[in-house]
Structure 1
Amino acid sequence: MGSTTAFDRRIQAGPANVPLAVRDGDDSWAELAERAAGWEADRVLLVTDGAAPAEYLTRVRSVAAATAPCTALDLRSAPAPGRPPADPRAPAGRTVVVAVGGEQACAVAADLRLPTTLAAAVGPALALRRPPPDARALPARTAPALVWVRSDLLADRPAPETRAGLIGVIRHVLAVCPARYEALAGALDPEARYSASTVAAFLAVCADARAALVCFDPYETGPALALAYGRRLAAPVRSAAGHPLPPGDAEALGLLLAARIAVRLGLLDAAGAWAHRELVARNGSATGLPGGTDTEVLADAVAAALADAVAAALADGSGLLLLAGLGRPYCAGGRLLTPVGAPLLRAAAESLGPVAVPHCRRPVRALVTG
């Protein structure tokens, strides 16, 4: 998927601008230190969640401490901050918040996000933090001032973690940029062994897909809902399994379940459903429910999840974003969220058992170009 190991992107999300810097190699620490020198911080708060390698976290803390006094907050033992310090008695001055780690850390309102997992790098690290409902203007830190990613670090992470993060890349390709389908299918390795340049290419695909959607939909309540395709179904899959699933498998099965639902509604053809299964299988992720899973429990869990409002997205309705084709979210009545009845949900959930998606022999190119 290309050979670039370092690149820069600027993702325009409404009035906010999110700079993304992807780097490779220890020489990049000098650049990060140079950028840190311009923070003009009176203090630095380092927010972590346990997902960063110890050596990497030590280097980041060293860079931060060279600019201002640095304290750490571990989200595993403390609540996530809004814009600390929240205590009005705290001394005046500028606090720079640096988030280092996985999805939990990269979801905070940080000035600098350094994702250390692929899932964080293609998801929350690049997303805006939604302002309070009564906010009249875009708060300064709904968007990070910089997202800094080391592609070589991500390439060296454990295979299960990388495989889980790639579900996010697959989601982007299926729902937003199907022209990258062939390249992604050819690059995926079920053993999750990737070079830094391949990881950088994955990051570029997701950054470009996000940039195409959030320019006029910064909080992902309209067309950019496609960036979360299948995610609403992951939690019900996870709870129905009855035991912990390998990382990313619930998200993978959420994609497959969304495809099954769309097929049963007559929106997506067999080729589109096969394309979902093909990418998931090439990634080495689950393509069916584990043995012993109660599909009736799964169907009930899905139905219950859909009864809830679309949290923090559209407060006036519920439903699923479904595809009418690769890269073509289904829209009816001006809505991208399709209500789905319990009988259909149950039938689609049951099909995730031993019954496989019928194999489609149409070439991949036909899936992409129609």
Structure 2
Amino acid sequence: MRRSVRLDRRIQAGAAQVFLAVRGGEPSWSELGTRLDGLRAERFLVVTDGTAPEATLAAVRALAADRAPTAVHDLRDGPLPAAARAGAVVLAVGGERACGLPAEVRVPTDLAAACGPALALHRPVPNALVWVRADQLAARPAAWTRAGTVAVVRHVLAVCPAQYPTLAALLHPGARYDEPTLTALIALCADARAALVCFDPDETGPALALGYGRSLAAAVRAVAGPDLAPGDAEALGLVLAARVAERLGLAAGATGWAHRDLLARNGSATALPGGVDVDRLTVALVNAAAPGLLLLADLGRPYCADGRLLTRVDAAVLRAAVEGLADPVGTGVPRSRAAVTEPALAGAVPAAGSGSGAL
């Protein structure tokens, strides 16, 4: 028998707030319909990015169309014109691209979106609803779920390292998790975000940790994307960030080991694919790091100097970090968990940083 799930969270900063609702099962659509009634929309605009399952997109569109005139915009056809959303209640359905837009209702259909962009406080939307169907997330392909758990790894490394032992025991390369487990992972990310954005809604201060490694990941994706599985660019962005911190002497080797350990347990890449153009990737990383990088001095503790959380990094350090992640045998296969075992770390990780509670 399927275990029913229900999770309600609120992420708030001043007058802006995001309500998160995680539900399971087809009957939950009726609750979403009731919530749409409360918006009293004159018209709806459904925005998608091509990643949502057809059945989910059709269900949301039908709920909206039953209540007001409804149009659909697919981001694959181009950016959303400002005129298209004027006077409309926007329903974002899909992955990170769709849920990263300002929208009154966000229906993330993969774990990465549910743990990240869907939860952000987007201006000019003062109130947003994030509606997640845990049963549908559990049914997604393992590759998409594995990509989503990289987002959870980011939160644990940068914000709530007290969850490290629990997450390490949970992760596995098969990336098949039941609804209660997925709900708990989303709750972890929501609670981490709520703790930071309540006093940093623009994510320009301590909440920068929520995007730890993402600028480096974007550079990796731009250069090596076709050779990477979903989520591997994000994983390599985290490992590169740890490498940079180590080379600058800002973090001990145990911190980098913790990155590689969680990602290897997840089945994510911890080495660059064979044949990657080191020169081209270095240039992309230099451009990505131009404003500075958020780096960790320890798990859950961003490095801060002279009141700045963004550290300038020169090209030589970035190139050395890239060369340190080059796959010497050209397989592009993630290193095994055994390959990153480091007994000297025993007992160090659970005590690092801050955070409490259990998944």
Fold match (TM-score > 0.5): yes
- Tell whether 2:43 aligns with 1:43: yes
1:316-363 C-alpha deviation (Å, 9 max, x unpaired): xx2110000000000000000011111111111110124789742145
Counterpart position of 2:325: 352
Unmatched 5+ residue regions in structure 2? 329-334, 353-359
Distance 1:165 1:288 in 2: 19
Q: Per the alignment, in what secondary structure is the counterpart of residue 145 of structure 1?
A: strand
Alignment deviations for residues 157-190 of structure 1 (CA, whole Å, 9 cap, x no partner): 1111111111111100000000111111111121
Change over 3 Å in CA distance of 1:103–1:243 after alignment to 2: closer
Asked if 1:177 is matched to 2:160, the reply is yes
Counterpart check, 1:295 vs 2:272: no
5+ long unaligned stretches in structure 1? 87-93, 131-138, 308-317
Aligned positions of 1:181-200 closer than 5 A: 181-200=164-183
Provide the residue aligned with 1:361 in structure 2.
343
Distance 1:288 1:183, change over 3 A: same
Aligned match of 1:320: 293
Say if 2:260 and 2:340, in contact at 8 Å, map to a contact too.
Answer: no
Asked if residue 285 in structure 1 is aligned to residue 268 in structure 2, the reply is yes
User: Does the CA-based 8 Å contact 1:81-1:108 persist in structure 2?
Assistant: no
- 1:25 paired with 2:25, answer yes
Q: Choose which of 175, 192, 211 in structure 1 pairs with 2:194.
A: 211
Aligned-pair Cα RMSD in Å: 2.0
Q: Deviations over 1:84-105 (max 9, x none)?
A: 444xxxxxxx522111111111
* Residue type of the alignment partner of 1:76: R
State the Cα deviation string for residues 234-258 of structure 1 (Å, max 9, x = none).
Answer: 1222234374311111110110011
* Contact 2:4/2:24, CA 8 A, preserved across alignment: no
CA distance in 2, matches of 1:144, 1:169: 24
Match of 2:132 among 143, 149, 164: 149
The residue type paired with residue 319 of structure 2 is R
User: In the aligned structure 2, how far is the partner of 1:264 from the partner of 1:100?
Assistant: 41
Q: 1:127 to 1:242 in 2, by over 3 A?
A: closer
Structure-2 residue corresponding to 1:314: none
SS of the aligned residue for 2:166 comes to helix
Taking a change above 3 Å as real, the CA distance of residues 104 and 241 of structure 1, as seen in their structure-2 partners, is: closer
Contact 1:4 1:200 in 2 (8 A): no
1:256 matched residue in structure 2: 239
> Is residue 109 of structure 1 aligned with residue 102 of structure 2?
yes
Moved more, 348-357 or 212-221: 348-357
* Structure number having the greater helix percentage: 2
2:80 aligns with: 80
Kept in 1: contact 2:159–2:192 (CA 8 A):
yes
Could you tell me which amino acid in structure 2 is paired with residue 153 of structure 1?
Q
Q: Give, in whole Å, the separation in 2 of the partners of 1:249 and 1:109.
A: 26
Matches within 5 A, 1:48-87: 48-82=48-82, 84-86=84-86
Instruction: Return the match for 2:307 from 334, 340, 344.
Output: 334
Distance 2:347 2:7 in 1: 28
Write out per-residue CA displacement over residues 262-290 of structure 1, whole angstroms, 9 at most, x where no aligned residue.
Answer: 11112211211111001111111111011
Q: Which moved more, 1:214-223 or 1:94-103?
A: 94-103
Identical aligned residues as a percent: 60
How far apart are 1:81 and its partner, in Å?
4.1
